[in-house]
Amino acid sequence: MFAIKKSDETIVELLASALRRDIAFGALLPDQKLKIEELRKRYGGSNHSMRETLRILSTEGLVEATAQRGFRVTSATEDDLRDILLVRIEIERVALARAIAAGDVTWEGRVIAAHHALRKAEDAVAEAPDDLTALEWDEACRAFSHALIEACDSPRLIDLHGKLFDQSRRFRLAQLRENTLDWKARRVRQQALVEAVLAKDTTEASSLLQEDIQAELKTNDP
């Protein structure tokens, strides 16, 4: 419409990014009806581009499509989070085990680098949790998590990991806003995880990984 199309990104991809962001931050709420016309007014694009965008987001599990009844933001109950994390744990455990078995020294380097970046990002967000730093923090989490498993030699495991991670983003950012994260514990855990990975201690790494993922659930402690 009026936005300058830089690089080779397609309109639909731009729309998808915008919607993803707004879903992650809760500007578009869970279960909210997504009417094509309204979205067009807000984000631009033609009706088809918008429909296609919504199809893509439904691929990613952020939006749900019902025949003849349009689209809505995927609901986000605690059960949903539990389910996502359950699958994440299984996928990431398998992938991590394979990565440890197959990964070479350059992979180890990428893990260390991602861990380093994550620590910086956690420091930054713990101090000033504005939206931008929050996004950068989440991106660092994603990069670290991705680095851990990227040597697993299974495109589908990697792809799944990414999708599941993105699905849990909303919850993670909410947790950040509510300030229920234990930064100290995270740091210790992640440090131990990296050490276990470098020591090729699969069982230890696996259980630390599970702990780290499970920690995303403890939003309300009694």
Residues of the shown chain interacting with a second copy in the complex, contacts defined by CB under 8 A: 8-10, 13, 48, 51-52, 55-56, 58-59, 67-68, 83-84, 86-87, 90-91, 94, 154-157, 160
Binding-residue pattern over the window 19 to 48 for DNA, x denoting contact by CB under 7 A? --------------xxxxx------xxxxx
Q: Is 12 in the site for DNA (CB under 7 A)?
A: yes
203 vs 205: CA distance, rounded Å: 5
Give me the least distance between CB of 166 and a second copy, in Å please: 13
Tokens of 115: 């861990």
Q: Which does 31 bind (CB under 5 to 8 A by kind): a second copy, DNA, none?
A: none
Q: Is 8 in the site for DNA (CB under 7 A)?
A: yes
Choose between 5 and 184: whose C-beta lies nearer to a second copy: 5
| Ordered DSSP codes for 88-133 | HHHHHHHHHHHHHHH--HHHHHHHHHHHHHHHHHHHHHHH---HHH
φ, ψ for residue 123 (rounded to 5)? Answer: -60, -45
Say how many Å lie between the first and final Cα of the chain, rounded: 50
220 vs 222: CA distance, rounded Å: 6
Q: Residue 103 pairs with which residues in a beta bridge?
A: none
Choose between 94 and 117: whose C-beta lies nearer to a second copy: 94
Choose between 69 and 184: whose C-beta lies nearer to a second copy: 69
Q: Is 219 in the site for DNA (CB under 7 A)?
A: no
Give me the least distance between CB of 138 and DNA, in Å please: 26
32 vs 35: CA distance, rounded Å: 9
Give me the least distance between CB of 114 and a second copy, in Å please: 23
- Answer whether 25's CB lies under 8 Å from 173's CB: yes
Q: Is 70 in the site for DNA (CB under 7 A)?
A: yes
